[in-house]
Structures are given as structure tokens and as C-alpha cells.
Structure 1
Amino acid sequence: MSLLPVEETLARLLADAEPLAAERLPVAQAGGRVLAQPVEAYHTQPPFDASAMDGYAIRADDVIITPTQLKVIGESAAGRRFAGPVAAGEAVRIFTGAPVPAGADTVLIQENTERLADGSIRVLQAVAKGRNIRRAGLDFGKGDMLLEPGRILDPAALSLAAAANNAVLHVVRRPKVAIIATGDELVAPGETPGPDQIISSNNLGIAEIIRIHGGEALDLGIVDDRIEHIETAIGAAINRGADILVTSGGASVGDHDLVHAALIRRGMALDFWKIAMRPGKPLMFGRLQGLRVLGLPGNPVSSLVCGHLFLAPLVSALAGRPYRPDIRTARLGADMPANDQRRDHIRAEIHPNDQGELVATPLPLQDSSMLSALARANGLIIREPHAEPARAGELCQVFMLR
């Protein structure tokens, strides 16, 4: 089987990846989700003419000539309005957000007044009619369409939906992504590994990629290298309603790489296996009973790089979220050799120089087992297949990780 180019790999992964069906959520639980239906205003905001300042509700005609004196007849506070009208020569003490009484057409800020011993006020400065009043409907009116489908409910959007009296919102269901880590050599963090074992970590990094891009990670734990146990774990992913199954390790060609065989036995239709990329050649994708199956390499760096490049856009598409890889232009910080037939993603430290240009300096060791190097890198230098040697200072493309 020939190696599949990266662009075609991504195209096949996303060919029919549409946002999942909608679900209803209380507005208090909908933060970060994607709207599946528009959000309508169920009332007018503000629902009345409201004061924008602390001061006095007055008639502007009464303060054309200053100083002048006004009689204070009451108080209007937020949630507790003054019930009567304001007549000529009168004022109502008012606070920010409070309803403006009938008859008043202006709010005079308290700094421009003096309170007198008899409770009246002396107005020190004239004010234009209509000042410091937020008119009813200034923000939105009942029946207005406020948010369109596809909008992520960020803090402002969520607050707007709530302010418009939406108690429940229709949002795209978060894709459920089951994760299976395979290998007799793996133990969970906190356990004591045997002499031939290592700590399982790929599942945690992959789960964080899923979370960041709007999915729900279902960690099914570590499965040993027995094909019947792997099949059982695959069945658990199906039973829990997973939309995607991600496997880590066991998808290559070794005698103990049993994931591929277990999936085929369960009935998976293989789409592709092995891609023209480094790190991450043994990437697998197929379909099983409506479940998308993505087999990631077992090497930690390969697993996470493939997660960033392929799993992130797939989860985003199912979650209804826009996905825009952060690809920028930089200058090489070191010479690069010619590349072979695989697209290379070289871990690099990428920082601006004195001229404000990004400089991408490859890390000295690129072994696909080295998580310390990946954590140190904040981006990947992209080297296309069969790229010619490049010198330091030449332009290159970089995929930013953070």
C-alpha cells in the first residue's frame, strides 16, 4: 500500500464530517458550546428608560439657567422605581440602572449638584435634554435575532443569550471520543512500572486535544496485548455511544501490534493505513458501525503530532467549531537538509527576532519518543516531500502549537 499524502489524509478524514445533532441545554451549562439554532430575544433590554448614572431625574427645561434649586420628591433605585411623575421644579434621586420616572427627560449627575439642608438640591451646571438615559430597547428589542447558528457561546454570547431570557439553548452535541491505549508495557501514572514497562501518557495528551476542540473524551484505559481484550474495549466504545474511537499504539505491523487485526475482526472497513508524514507514518483510519476509527502511532510525539494535525480538525468539524490551523511564515534558524518522500514536521522553538520576524530553530534531537522536546517546542517546521536543502534565514512554513 502506497503512502497517502497529508492533504489527502485530511480530506478523507473530513469528507463527511458534519456537526452532530442538536441537544437542549440549560443556559448555565452551555458555555463553550456551539449554537445549533438562532437565539431570539424574549424581552426588550432595557425594558424601560434607565439611568446611566447616579444623580437626579429632572426636566431639562428646569435647569437651562443655573444655579437653580429643585425639590427632591423621592428616589428611584434598580429594582424599585419611583411611582409618581416629575413635575416642573422637581427632581427624583436616581441610581444607575433604575427606571426614569414619568415626566423626567434627563439625568443630572450628582457631581453637578449640592444637597441643601432642607433636602432640596442646588443645580450647579446645565445639562442637555436626554443626557445619561439609556432608552428602552437600546440593547435589543423583543423578537430580535441576536445570535446565529454556529456561534460559539463565549462569555459575551452566553451572557447575551441569558439577558434575552433564554433559559434553554439548542447546541451542537459534543462528539464523544473514546480512547484506548494498548500495550503490555504500559502502566497508569502513579503506578510503579515493572522493569520492562513505561508510564502511559498518550491518552492524556490526546484527551486534552479533544477537550480543547470541543469534544468529550472517554478514556477506556490501558488494554494489554490480547486481541480479545482489544475487541472488548472496542465494543465498550460502541456501547458508550462514541462518535470517534482513537487507539494509541498497536496499529503498525509488528507481531504484537494487534489493534488493526482486532478492528478488522469487529468489522471495520479500512479507509487508509500509513501516510507520507514524519512523525506519524503508521496512521490508520476506518469506519465501524458508524464509528470513525483513528489509529494513532504509539510513539508519544507521533501520537500527539497526529492528534494536532488530524484529530483536532475532525473533532472540531463534528462539534460545529471552526478549525483554522495556526500556520505562519518564519525564517529558518539553522540549515536544513533535503527531505525525502514524506512531509516532515520538525519540532522547533519559534520566536520573533529584533525585526519582529519569526525565527524557527529546530531542536537538536527529533526522536519521536521524546516528549520533553515536544513540550519545549512551540511549533513545527513544515518540510514538504522532496524539499531541497534550505539555509538559515530562508523562509519556511510553521505550524504553531502554542
Structure 2
Amino acid sequence: MTDTPTKTPPLPLRTAQERLLFLAPQLPVEHRAVAECGGFYLAHPVTARRTQPDAPLSAMDGYALCAADLPGPWTVIGESAAGHPFTGRIGSKQAVRISTGACLPDGADMVLLQEDTAREGDAVTLTGTPPSPVGRHIRPEGMDFLADTPLLGVGTRIGPAQIALAIAGGHQYLRVRRPVRLAVIDSGDELAGPGKPLQPHQIPASNGPMLAALAAFCPVDVTRIGPVPDRLDALVAALDQAKKADIIVTSGGASVGDHDLIRPALEAAGAEIDFWRVGIKPGKPLLVGRRQRSGAVAQVILGLPGNPASAFVTGFLFMLPLLRAASGAAEPLPHPIRAPLTGAMAAGGGRMEFLRAYWDGRAVALDPLQDSGALTPLARANALVVREAGAAAVPAGTDVPVYLLETGGIA
């Protein structure tokens, strides 16, 4: 055990994140069809296996011809369409009807726009202005990329555009890390499972499904366990049930009350505590541990608070970056934007705070209810406003750092 809870002060956010990411398991690499790689991170760089375009192409509909023959007229001798190139060669005062994306015929160095010409039969005349420079409407060979050009680096998140680029570069498969095996454990005597009748002292177990949905920003295979009662034997059994997971995330029981048993359960299950408590609000009682497994990469355990807003904020700031790091992301931490406040913001307290807020694309408004046990403001929010520890009060219109929730903080 490396942390003494009664003596060690809470870690600063960035220090805690760095210590957590250092523990991220290195998962095996697999080959996956490019079209199935959305949301994954590259484990190997992607280099172009071909040139694009592989020949000069027209960027517009019009007529391909030789600029030396201006101002015309020209005789149309054929057509070049996308996928159906003109196979001959253009001679003096000759033109070829050409479509967007079609190969430029041999002998042509200019494309006259259709709207700058008039045609009668096979005769074309210039009615507008020729392109300047001459090749303005031509996509030259290799305009997009040349063969052997690096296209995507290790750790790049694969989205729709990256899928298209990799396929255009001649790739059928990509090397990525296999999906993270994530176990999410809900704990608490007050929790009732879905559809169960509730007693006055009970609440529905909502943190587990919330965290599983939050984890979907990453390539994961999620197993949900619980709700587990506040008994040491039950928690140890749940941890044993999750022994094949790469990462375990627990919700509840990470604080210092008589019924907060996550820490002793982890120690009883053979885990070593790396650190406990972070200087943020909500989310101070966050716990991180690691458990060695025979013949496997060490398992990382992340103990989150039980209050829903605390669980969400720490899931956003810690679980998601850990999943990204395990998935091979080059930049696993979320990146804030800056936006002006619609109203004033009061002075901060002794901890760094993450305030639920709504960003309308121009400015950000703090929700009036910031209690960590409230789900309504969390559901209304699409952003977290960062207030540094000890921050002074600021007036409306002040630019503040903002994490966007709907992108997982990565855009």
C-alpha cells in the first residue's frame, strides 16, 4: 500500500491523471478491417500504398483542350467521364467533353468551364473567361498524396475521414489495440436493480449504466456487475468476478465512512493502492489501485464516488483518459475550449471545481443547481466549466475553460 489516507493530502488533478495514465495496460495489437475501426486508435502508422489522384483529373464539368489553341473554336472529338477515360490524344483545335473527376486526356492542359462555352453540334466556342492560371480546374497527379507518403500517425483516433483516407491510401486492414475489457461495479446497500420495486430507503442503480454509456466513447467490451451490497465479502466476490477485465471501475464506497468498503475490499482481493483522493469538486474520494494477474498485464482499478455528478465528472476526467491510453491514444486527456460566461461566476473554494453548464455554441451558462447528488442538472448539461482552486469571482462575459461533454472532451 503506497498511500496513507489520514496523512496524504489530495493530489492535484494533473498529477493524479499522470499517475493513472502511467498505469494504463498495454493491450495486444490486432488487425481489423478499416471500415470497422471507427473509434479505435492506430497502433501502427499508415503510409500511402498508392498515389491519389493517380493521373490528372478535371475538377469541373466542361471541355478539356490545349491552352495554346485559345481563343478557339474547337471540335469535340469525344468524352472523358469518371471511370471512363478518353483513350485518344487531343490534337490542334480539338476538345474533349469532360466531367468532374474524369481523367484529363493526353495533350490537354486546360479545362474550360461548361458555363463559359457554347456548343452547336461538335463545335465549341468560348463565351466567358479562360481559367487563370491555365491549370486552375485540374487536379494534378498526387495532389492529395503520393505513394509512400505518411498519412496517419500512431495514436490517431480513427473517425470517418481517417477511414476514408486509409482506404484511399490502399489499406484494407489497420493495426489497432483490441477493445478494452471493462468491468463496471455498482455498490451500495441503498441501490436497487432495474425494474425492482423500491423501498423508501432505496434508489435505482443508475451510475453503472451511466458509466458504461460514457465508456462508449472508446472501443470497449463492458461487463456490468451489481448492485453489490456494502459487505466486504460481497465486494471481494464482485472483484473476483471481474478478474479477467483489463480495467475495473467501481462506483460508490470510495470515501471514509463506516460503510465505504472499496479500499479494504481491494486490499483483500490482492490489489495495491496507488493513490486515493484528488483535490477536485465533485469527486475528491477517487481511488486508484492495481492488481497483478498471473501471465497477464496488471489490472487497473478505478474507484469512483457514488454521488452521480461526482461519478460522472471523475469518469470523464479519469475513466475516459485511462480507456483512451489503454486503447493507444496519442493524447488521452480531454482538451478544453474557451467560451464566455453568460453570467457572473462566484469565487472558488479550496479545490478545483467542475461546474455543470450548457454551451450554446457561443457562450456558456452555469446550471443553478450544482449539488453532486442531483441528476437533473447533469442531464441538462453539455459542458463542464473549470474553476481553479481559490479563483476570484469573475463577471459575465469572462472567457473560461470549458470541456464539451458530447465529444468526450476530445474535440
Pairwise same-fold verdict (TM > 0.5): yes
Q: 1:203/1:108 Cα in 2 relative to 1: closer, same or farther (>3 Å)?
A: same
Correspondence 1:233 to 2:233? no
The gaps in structure 1 that reach 5 residues or longer are none
Tell me the alpha carbon deviations over residues 158-204 of structure 1, each in whole angstroms, 9 at most, x when there is no partner.
22211111111122444332211112332344443234321111123
Q: Distance in 1 between matches of 2:113 and 2:399?
A: 59
Tell me the alpha carbon deviations over residues 250-273 of structure 1, each in whole angstroms, 9 at most, x when there is no partner.
233445444333322221112233
| 3-state secondary structure, aligned to 1:136 | coil
Correspondence 1:5 to 2:15? no
Q: CA deviation at 1:10?
A: 3.0
Matched with 1:168 is 173
Q: 1:189/1:223 Cα in 2 relative to 1: closer, same or farther (>3 Å)?
A: closer
Aligned with 1:95 (options 92, 99, 107): 99
Q: CA deviation at 1:26?
A: 1.1
- RMSD after superposition: 3.3
Please give the residue correspondences for 1:2-401 in structure 2 after superposition, counting only pairs within 5 Å.
2=7, 3-7=9-13, 8-17=15-24, 20-62=27-69, 64-66=70-72, 68=73, 70-117=74-121, 119-124=122-127, 127=130, 129-212=134-217, 214-216=218-220, 218-225=222-229, 226-239=231-244, 242-289=245-292, 290-319=298-327, 320-322=329-331, 323-326=333-336, 333=344, 335-336=346-347, 339=349, 343=351, 345=353, 347=355, 349=357, 363=368, 366-376=370-380, 378-380=383-385, 382=387, 384=389, 387=390, 393=395, 400=403
Q: Distance in 2 between matches of 1:223 and 1:295?
A: 15
Q: 1:274/1:81 Cα in 2 relative to 1: closer, same or farther (>3 Å)?
A: closer
The gaps in structure 2 that reach 5 residues or longer are 1-5, 293-297, 406-411
Q: CA deviation at 1:284?
A: 1.7
Q: Distance in 1 between matches of 2:95 and 2:336?
A: 58
Q: 1:281/1:73 Cα in 2 relative to 1: closer, same or farther (>3 Å)?
A: closer
Tell me the alpha carbon deviations over residues 179-233 of structure 1, each in whole angstroms, 9 at most, x when there is no partner.
1111233234444323432111112332233233x35251423233254443343
Tell me the alpha carbon deviations over residues 34-92 of structure 1, each in whole angstroms, 9 at most, x when there is no partner.
22222111111111122222122222233x244x2x33222211111222222223222
Q: Distance in 2 between matches of 1:233 and 1:60?
A: 77
Q: 1:156/1:224 Cα in 2 relative to 1: closer, same or farther (>3 Å)?
A: closer
Q: Distance in 2 between matches of 1:396 and 1:141?
A: 43
Q: 1:102/1:279 Cα in 2 relative to 1: closer, same or farther (>3 Å)?
A: closer
Q: 1:198/1:164 Cα in 2 relative to 1: closer, same or farther (>3 Å)?
A: same
Q: Distance in 2 between matches of 1:398 and 1:313?
A: 18
Q: Distance in 1 between matches of 2:205 and 2:42?
A: 36
Q: Distance in 1 between matches of 2:97 and 2:16?
A: 68
Q: Is the 8 A contact 1:45 1:140 kept in 2?
A: yes
| Larger Rg, first or second structure (1 or 2) | 1
Q: Distance in 1 between matches of 2:172 and 2:59?
A: 27
Q: Distance in 2 between matches of 1:401 and 1:55?
A: 45
Moved over 6 A (4+): 329-332, 394-397
Tell me the alpha carbon deviations over residues 274-332 of structure 1, each in whole angstroms, 9 at most, x when there is no partner.
44444333322111121111111112122222223332332333231412442769788
Q: Distance in 2 between matches of 1:333 and 1:299?
A: 27
| 3-state secondary structure, aligned to 2:224 | strand
Q: Distance in 2 between matches of 1:398 and 1:109?
A: 48
Specify the code of the residue in structure 2 equivalent to 1:116: E
Q: What TM-score do you get using the length of structure 2 for normalisation?
A: 0.80
Q: Is the 8 A contact 1:177 1:215 kept in 2?
A: no
Q: Distance in 2 between matches of 1:108 and 1:328?
A: 46
Total equivalences in the alignment:
384
Q: CA deviation at 1:391?
A: 5.1
| 3-state secondary structure, aligned to 2:303 | strand
Specify the code of the residue in structure 1 equivalent to 2:198: P
| 3-state secondary structure, aligned to 2:243 | helix
Q: 1:159/1:329 Cα in 2 relative to 1: closer, same or farther (>3 Å)?
A: closer
| 3-state secondary structure, aligned to 1:223 | strand
Q: Distance in 1 between matches of 2:82 and 2:233?
A: 67
Q: Is the 8 A contact 1:283 1:296 kept in 2?
A: yes
Q: 1:234/1:137 Cα in 2 relative to 1: closer, same or farther (>3 Å)?
A: same
Q: Distance in 1 between matches of 2:337 and 2:107?
A: 60
Q: 1:265/1:127 Cα in 2 relative to 1: closer, same or farther (>3 Å)?
A: same
